[in-house]
Structure 1
Protein backbone atom coordinates (compact mmCIF):
# COMPACT_ATOMS: atom_id res chain seq x y z
CA UNK A 1 0.00 0.00 0.00
CA UNK A 2 2.72 2.47 0.99
CA UNK A 3 4.86 1.58 -2.03
CA UNK A 4 2.40 3.34 -4.38
CA UNK A 5 2.12 6.59 -2.40
CA UNK A 6 4.93 8.16 -4.42
CA UNK A 7 3.16 7.21 -7.64
CA UNK A 8 -0.12 8.59 -6.36
CA UNK A 9 1.55 11.88 -5.43
CA UNK A 10 3.05 12.13 -8.92
CA UNK A 11 -0.32 11.17 -10.42
CA UNK A 12 -2.03 13.98 -8.50
CA UNK A 13 0.62 16.44 -9.67
CA UNK A 14 0.32 15.35 -13.32
CA UNK A 15 -3.47 15.31 -13.07
CA UNK A 16 -3.47 18.85 -11.68
CA UNK A 17 -1.28 20.00 -14.58
CA UNK A 18 -3.62 18.25 -16.99
CA UNK A 19 -6.75 19.86 -15.54
CA UNK A 20 -5.11 23.30 -15.53
CA UNK A 21 -4.03 23.02 -19.18
CA UNK A 22 -7.46 21.61 -20.08
CA UNK A 23 -9.09 24.71 -18.58
CA UNK A 24 -6.67 26.93 -20.51
CA UNK A 25 -7.56 25.06 -23.71
CA UNK A 26 -11.28 25.52 -23.12
CA UNK A 27 -10.75 29.20 -22.34
CA UNK A 28 -8.87 29.56 -25.63
CA UNK A 29 -11.78 27.90 -27.45
CA UNK A 30 -14.09 30.36 -25.70
CA UNK A 31 -12.11 33.20 -27.30
CA UNK A 32 -12.93 31.92 -30.80
CA UNK A 33 -15.50 34.08 -32.50
CA UNK A 34 -14.88 36.88 -30.04
CA UNK A 35 -12.67 39.86 -30.68
CA UNK A 36 -9.46 37.99 -29.93
CA UNK A 37 -7.21 41.06 -29.79
CA UNK A 38 -9.60 42.94 -27.49
CA UNK A 39 -10.09 39.94 -25.19
CA UNK A 40 -6.34 39.33 -25.03
CA UNK A 41 -5.65 42.98 -24.30
CA UNK A 42 -8.19 42.88 -21.46
CA UNK A 43 -6.46 39.83 -19.98
CA UNK A 44 -3.04 41.49 -20.25
CA UNK A 45 -4.43 44.68 -18.68
CA UNK A 46 -6.11 42.69 -15.89
CA UNK A 47 -2.80 40.95 -15.13
CA UNK A 48 -1.01 44.32 -15.08
CA UNK A 49 1.28 43.40 -17.97
CA UNK A 50 0.41 46.39 -20.15
CA UNK A 51 2.86 48.73 -18.42
CA UNK A 52 6.58 48.60 -17.99
CA UNK A 53 9.39 47.05 -19.97
CA UNK A 54 7.36 44.19 -21.45
CA UNK A 55 4.40 46.29 -22.57
CA UNK A 56 5.73 46.66 -26.13
CA UNK A 57 6.39 42.95 -26.40
CA UNK A 58 2.84 42.14 -25.31
CA UNK A 59 1.35 44.68 -27.73
CA UNK A 60 3.28 43.18 -30.66
CA UNK A 61 2.20 39.66 -29.67
CA UNK A 62 -1.43 40.73 -29.34
CA UNK A 63 -1.36 42.31 -32.80
CA UNK A 64 -0.41 38.92 -34.27
CA UNK A 65 -3.15 36.90 -32.58
CA UNK A 66 -5.79 35.50 -34.91
CA UNK A 67 -8.59 32.97 -34.60
CA UNK A 68 -6.47 30.34 -36.36
CA UNK A 69 -3.55 30.81 -33.93
CA UNK A 70 -5.94 30.64 -30.96
CA UNK A 71 -7.48 27.46 -32.41
CA UNK A 72 -4.02 25.91 -32.83
CA UNK A 73 -3.03 26.83 -29.25
CA UNK A 74 -6.29 25.34 -27.98
CA UNK A 75 -5.72 22.06 -29.86
CA UNK A 76 -2.15 21.79 -28.54
CA UNK A 77 -3.36 22.55 -25.00
CA UNK A 78 -6.10 19.91 -25.24
CA UNK A 79 -3.68 17.27 -26.59
CA UNK A 80 -1.14 18.06 -23.85
CA UNK A 81 -3.87 17.92 -21.20
CA UNK A 82 -5.05 14.56 -22.51
CA UNK A 83 -1.51 13.16 -22.30
CA UNK A 84 -1.09 14.45 -18.72
CA UNK A 85 -4.48 13.05 -17.62
CA UNK A 86 -3.86 9.64 -19.21
CA UNK A 87 -0.45 9.56 -17.55
CA UNK A 88 -2.00 10.53 -14.21
CA UNK A 89 -4.60 7.75 -14.36
CA UNK A 90 -1.94 5.22 -15.37
CA UNK A 91 0.33 6.29 -12.51
CA UNK A 92 -2.57 6.18 -10.05
CA UNK A 93 -3.23 2.60 -11.14
CA UNK A 94 0.54 1.82 -10.96
CA UNK A 95 0.77 0.82 -14.61
CA UNK A 96 4.33 0.27 -15.85
CA UNK A 97 3.62 2.00 -19.18
CA UNK A 98 2.62 5.15 -17.27
CA UNK A 99 5.84 5.06 -15.28
CA UNK A 100 7.84 4.83 -18.50
CA UNK A 101 5.77 7.63 -20.03
CA UNK A 102 6.49 9.80 -16.97
CA UNK A 103 10.22 8.96 -17.13
CA UNK A 104 10.42 9.85 -20.83
CA UNK A 105 8.31 12.99 -20.65
CA UNK A 106 10.03 14.19 -17.48
CA UNK A 107 13.46 13.53 -18.97
CA UNK A 108 12.63 15.57 -22.06
CA UNK A 109 12.19 18.68 -19.91
CA UNK A 110 15.49 18.41 -18.06
CA UNK A 111 17.77 19.81 -20.82
CA UNK A 112 15.41 22.76 -21.37
CA UNK A 113 15.19 23.41 -17.64
CA UNK A 114 18.97 23.24 -17.31
CA UNK A 115 19.41 25.67 -20.21
CA UNK A 116 16.95 28.13 -18.65
CA UNK A 117 18.63 27.72 -15.29
CA UNK A 118 22.06 28.47 -16.74
CA UNK A 119 20.75 31.46 -18.71
CA UNK A 120 18.85 33.02 -15.83
CA UNK A 121 19.09 31.24 -12.48
CA UNK A 122 16.21 31.85 -10.10
CA UNK A 123 15.04 30.02 -7.02
CA UNK A 124 11.89 28.79 -8.75
CA UNK A 125 13.90 27.41 -11.70
CA UNK A 126 16.27 25.66 -9.32
CA UNK A 127 13.32 24.10 -7.47
CA UNK A 128 11.56 23.06 -10.69
CA UNK A 129 14.73 21.49 -12.11
CA UNK A 130 15.58 19.67 -8.88
CA UNK A 131 12.00 18.48 -8.51
CA UNK A 132 11.90 17.12 -12.05
CA UNK A 133 15.28 15.40 -11.67
CA UNK A 134 14.11 13.87 -8.37
CA UNK A 135 10.85 12.70 -9.96
CA UNK A 136 12.64 11.05 -12.90
CA UNK A 137 15.23 9.51 -10.55
CA UNK A 138 12.48 8.12 -8.28
CA UNK A 139 10.63 6.58 -11.23
CA UNK A 140 13.79 5.06 -12.72
CA UNK A 141 14.73 3.56 -9.34
CA UNK A 142 11.20 2.24 -8.97
CA UNK A 143 11.24 0.65 -12.44
CA UNK A 144 14.67 -0.86 -11.83
CA UNK A 145 13.43 -2.45 -8.63
CA UNK A 146 16.99 -2.77 -7.36
CA UNK A 147 18.33 -4.35 -10.56
CA UNK A 148 21.45 -3.03 -12.27
CA UNK A 149 19.86 -2.57 -15.71
CA UNK A 150 17.03 -0.33 -16.88
CA UNK A 151 14.98 -2.97 -18.69
CA UNK A 152 11.36 -2.97 -17.57
CA UNK A 153 10.13 -5.99 -15.64
CA UNK A 154 6.67 -5.51 -17.20
CA UNK A 155 6.97 -3.62 -20.48
CA UNK A 156 3.23 -2.95 -20.91
Structure 2
Protein backbone atom coordinates (compact mmCIF):
# COMPACT_ATOMS: atom_id res chain seq x y z
CA UNK A 1 0.00 0.00 0.00
CA UNK A 2 1.27 3.41 -0.95
CA UNK A 3 -0.20 5.58 1.77
CA UNK A 4 1.33 8.79 3.01
CA UNK A 5 1.46 8.72 6.80
CA UNK A 6 2.08 12.49 6.86
CA UNK A 7 -1.30 13.31 5.30
CA UNK A 8 -3.16 10.83 7.47
CA UNK A 9 -1.39 12.12 10.55
CA UNK A 10 -2.33 15.71 9.72
CA UNK A 11 -5.98 14.66 9.49
CA UNK A 12 -5.54 12.68 12.73
CA UNK A 13 -4.29 15.84 14.46
CA UNK A 14 -7.31 17.77 13.14
CA UNK A 15 -9.66 15.06 14.44
CA UNK A 16 -7.92 14.95 17.82
CA UNK A 17 -8.24 18.74 18.01
CA UNK A 18 -11.98 18.50 17.35
CA UNK A 19 -12.23 15.80 20.00
CA UNK A 20 -10.35 17.97 22.50
CA UNK A 21 -12.61 20.95 21.86
CA UNK A 22 -15.73 18.79 22.26
CA UNK A 23 -14.33 17.33 25.49
CA UNK A 24 -13.63 20.81 26.87
CA UNK A 25 -17.15 21.91 25.92
CA UNK A 26 -18.67 18.89 27.67
CA UNK A 27 -16.61 19.57 30.80
CA UNK A 28 -17.66 23.22 30.73
CA UNK A 29 -21.32 22.27 30.36
CA UNK A 30 -20.99 19.80 33.21
CA UNK A 31 -19.58 22.57 35.37
CA UNK A 32 -22.59 24.78 34.57
CA UNK A 33 -25.19 22.19 35.60
CA UNK A 34 -27.25 23.21 38.56
CA UNK A 35 -26.50 26.88 38.08
CA UNK A 36 -28.85 29.59 36.90
CA UNK A 37 -27.45 30.19 33.41
CA UNK A 38 -29.60 33.23 32.77
CA UNK A 39 -28.30 34.86 35.95
CA UNK A 40 -24.68 34.06 34.99
CA UNK A 41 -25.23 35.55 31.52
CA UNK A 42 -26.76 38.70 33.04
CA UNK A 43 -23.68 39.13 35.24
CA UNK A 44 -21.41 38.66 32.22
CA UNK A 45 -23.41 41.13 30.11
CA UNK A 46 -23.29 43.71 32.92
CA UNK A 47 -19.58 43.09 33.42
CA UNK A 48 -18.97 43.73 29.71
CA UNK A 49 -21.11 46.90 29.93
CA UNK A 50 -23.56 45.65 27.31
CA UNK A 51 -27.20 46.59 27.13
CA UNK A 52 -29.27 43.49 28.07
CA UNK A 53 -32.19 44.85 26.05
CA UNK A 54 -30.17 45.09 22.84
CA UNK A 55 -30.47 42.47 20.11
CA UNK A 56 -27.75 39.86 20.79
CA UNK A 57 -27.64 40.02 24.59
CA UNK A 58 -31.44 39.90 24.66
CA UNK A 59 -31.55 36.80 22.44
CA UNK A 60 -28.85 35.15 24.54
CA UNK A 61 -30.79 35.77 27.74
CA UNK A 62 -34.01 34.47 26.16
CA UNK A 63 -32.29 31.31 24.90
CA UNK A 64 -30.73 30.64 28.30
CA UNK A 65 -34.10 31.02 29.99
CA UNK A 66 -35.29 27.93 28.11
CA UNK A 67 -32.34 25.71 29.07
CA UNK A 68 -32.72 23.27 31.93
CA UNK A 69 -30.43 20.61 33.45
CA UNK A 70 -31.97 17.83 31.36
CA UNK A 71 -31.07 19.65 28.15
CA UNK A 72 -27.57 20.33 29.46
CA UNK A 73 -27.10 16.65 30.31
CA UNK A 74 -28.19 15.61 26.81
CA UNK A 75 -25.84 18.11 25.14
CA UNK A 76 -23.00 17.10 27.49
CA UNK A 77 -23.45 13.41 26.66
CA UNK A 78 -23.62 14.19 22.93
CA UNK A 79 -20.40 16.24 23.17
CA UNK A 80 -18.68 13.39 25.04
CA UNK A 81 -19.81 10.88 22.42
CA UNK A 82 -18.62 13.15 19.60
CA UNK A 83 -15.30 13.57 21.41
CA UNK A 84 -14.88 9.81 21.81
CA UNK A 85 -15.56 9.21 18.10
CA UNK A 86 -13.06 11.90 17.09
CA UNK A 87 -10.36 10.41 19.37
CA UNK A 88 -10.95 6.89 18.00
CA UNK A 89 -10.79 8.26 14.47
CA UNK A 90 -7.58 10.18 15.22
CA UNK A 91 -5.93 7.12 16.77
CA UNK A 92 -6.89 4.92 13.84
CA UNK A 93 -5.72 7.43 11.24
CA UNK A 94 -2.43 7.90 13.07
CA UNK A 95 -1.86 4.14 12.90
CA UNK A 96 -3.24 3.91 9.33
CA UNK A 97 -6.14 1.56 10.06
CA UNK A 98 -8.16 1.30 6.89
CA UNK A 99 -11.55 1.24 8.65
CA UNK A 100 -10.83 4.62 10.24
CA UNK A 101 -9.92 6.01 6.84
CA UNK A 102 -13.42 5.01 5.72
CA UNK A 103 -14.90 6.48 8.90
CA UNK A 104 -13.04 9.75 8.32
CA UNK A 105 -14.17 9.87 4.69
CA UNK A 106 -17.82 9.28 5.54
CA UNK A 107 -17.81 11.71 8.46
CA UNK A 108 -16.19 14.39 6.27
CA UNK A 109 -18.61 13.87 3.39
CA UNK A 110 -21.56 14.24 5.78
CA UNK A 111 -20.55 17.83 6.54
CA UNK A 112 -20.27 18.95 2.90
CA UNK A 113 -24.00 19.68 2.28
CA UNK A 114 -24.18 21.72 5.49
CA UNK A 115 -21.06 23.67 4.59
CA UNK A 116 -22.40 24.33 1.08
CA UNK A 117 -25.71 25.51 2.53
CA UNK A 118 -23.90 27.79 4.96
CA UNK A 119 -21.89 29.24 2.07
CA UNK A 120 -25.10 29.66 0.05
CA UNK A 121 -26.70 31.57 2.93
CA UNK A 122 -23.78 33.92 3.40
CA UNK A 123 -20.29 33.84 1.99
CA UNK A 124 -17.76 34.39 4.75
CA UNK A 125 -14.07 33.71 5.02
CA UNK A 126 -14.68 31.08 7.70
CA UNK A 127 -17.35 29.18 5.78
CA UNK A 128 -15.23 29.27 2.61
CA UNK A 129 -12.16 28.06 4.48
CA UNK A 130 -14.04 25.22 6.21
CA UNK A 131 -15.52 24.04 2.92
CA UNK A 132 -12.13 24.16 1.23
CA UNK A 133 -10.37 22.23 4.02
CA UNK A 134 -13.11 19.62 4.24
CA UNK A 135 -13.13 19.16 0.46
CA UNK A 136 -9.35 18.65 0.50
CA UNK A 137 -9.72 16.06 3.27
CA UNK A 138 -12.43 14.21 1.33
CA UNK A 139 -10.40 14.20 -1.90
CA UNK A 140 -7.24 13.08 -0.07
CA UNK A 141 -8.98 10.26 1.81
CA UNK A 142 -10.76 9.08 -1.34
CA UNK A 143 -7.39 9.02 -3.13
CA UNK A 144 -5.75 7.09 -0.27
CA UNK A 145 -8.56 4.55 -0.20
CA UNK A 146 -8.56 4.21 -3.99
CA UNK A 147 -4.80 3.57 -4.05
CA UNK A 148 -5.15 0.99 -1.28
CA UNK A 149 -7.77 -0.82 -3.33
CA UNK A 150 -5.59 -1.19 -6.43
**1:18-51 deviation line (CA, Å, top 9, x unaligned):** 0111011011111122233323445666788866
Q: Which has the higher helix share?
A: 2
Equivalent position of 1:126 in the other structure = 128
Q: Distance in 2 between matches of 1:49 and 1:33?
A: 25
Mapped contact 1:22–1:78 kept (Cα < 8 A): yes
Equivalent position of 2:27 in the other structure = 26
Q: Distance in 2 between matches of 1:73 and 1:121?
A: 29
Equivalent position of 2:63 in the other structure = 61
Which ranges of structure 1 fall in alignment gaps of 5 or more residues? 146-151
Size of the aligned set, in residue pairs, is 147
Q: Distance in 2 between matches of 1:129 and 1:49?
A: 34
Mapped contact 2:5–2:96 kept (Cα < 8 A): yes
Q: Per the alignment, do residues 23 and 79 of structure 1 end up closer, same or farther by CA in structure 2, a change over 3 Å counting?
A: same
Q: Per the alignment, do residues 36 and 16 of structure 1 end up closer, same or farther by CA in structure 2, a change over 3 Å counting?
A: same
Q: Distance in 1 between matches of 2:108 and 2:49?
A: 32
Alignment of 1:6-155 (within 5 A): 6-42=7-43, 52-145=54-147, 153=149
Give the C-alpha shift of residue 126 in structure 1.
Answer: 0.6
Which ranges of structure 2 fall in alignment gaps of 5 or more residues? none
Provide TM-score, normalisation by structure 1. Answer: 0.84
Say which structure, 1 or 2, has more relative contact order (CA 8 Å, 6+ apart): 2
Give the C-alpha shift of residue 2 in structure 1.
Answer: 8.3
Stretches (4+) displaced over 6 A: 44-50
Mapped contact 1:50–1:58 kept (Cα < 8 A): no
Which secondary structure state, in structure 1, belongs to the residue aligned with residue 136 of structure 2? helix
* Alignment root-mean-square deviation, CA: 2.4
Q: Distance in 2 between matches of 1:63 and 1:131?
A: 36
Q: Distance in 1 between matches of 2:4 and 2:113?
A: 29
Provide TM-score, normalisation by structure 2. Answer: 0.88
